[in-house]
Amino acid sequence: MAEVCTTCGLPKDLCVCEDLEKEETRIVVRLEMRRFRKPTTMVEGLNPKRSDLERIAHDLKSKLACGGTAKDGYILLQGDHRDGVRDSLVGMGFAESSIEVQ
């Protein structure tokens, strides 16, 4: 018996919940200065219940060659990677119009 999605009620192989979530999410990418004037890129707006923050953070850290973490509903990356984050998120399937870079 096929597994059924709890959100939409469709079988898992036909489920479109993840694609709809990526289109509706409003993501804010901003630069924050931390201790000792270290630049940190913060990615906010991702729903931790619907998207796998750990996987997204791992992919961003690999593509941008930096350190970082995912916690409390946001992703922190070491360094100024605002443009690279936007390009990487668009490559992951998020809508470019829903990503705001500050």
d(Cα 11, Cα 31) in Å, to the nearest integer? 40
Question: CATH number of the domain at 22-101, out of 2.60.40.10, 3.40.50.2000, 3.40.50.2300, 3.30.780.10?
Answer: 3.30.780.10
pLDDT of residue 42: 94
Burial class (CB in 10 A: 0-12, 13-18, 19+), 63: middle
Residues forming beta bridges with residue 50, ordered by sequence position: none
d(Cα 79, Cα 51) in Å, to the nearest integer? 24
Residues forming beta bridges with residue 71, ordered by sequence position: 74
Is the full-model pTM beyond 0.85?
Answer: no
Q: What is the pLDDT of residues 39-92, one digit of tens each?
A: 999 999 887 777 788 999 999 999 999 999 998 889 999 999 989 999 999 898
Q: What tokens appear for 27 in the block? A: 């993501």
Domain ranges of the chain: 22-101
